[in-house]
Amino acid sequence: MENQLNVIAEICPQDHPCPSVRVCPVGALTQEGFQAPKVDREVCIRCGKCAAFCPKRALVLE
């Protein structure tokens, strides 16, 4: 089974624009307001760039 990107909302501070949304090369991460980002699994290429960029480690490729 391939890895998939998971968002751990309990770790995400949800009080600012998510910096990881900007680094996704395919636009698979979206954010409404300051909520935890959502992953479009149909678009995500599982490259791990957003997970590596997340300062709180709330994005996990597992």
Per-residue pLDDT of the chain (62 residues; tens, 9 = 90+): 678 999 999 999 999 999 999 999 999 999 999 999 999 999 999 999 999 999 999 999 99
CATH of the domain at 53: 3.30.70.20
Full residue range of the structural domain in which residue 18 is found: 5-61
Asked if residue 16 lies in contact with residue 59, where contact means CB atoms within 8 angstroms, the answer is no
59, containing H or E segment: strand 59-61
The single residue listed with the structure tokens 């995400």 is 12
37 DSSP assignment: P
Query: Tokens standing for 12?
Result: 């995400």
- The total number of structural domains in the chain stands at 1
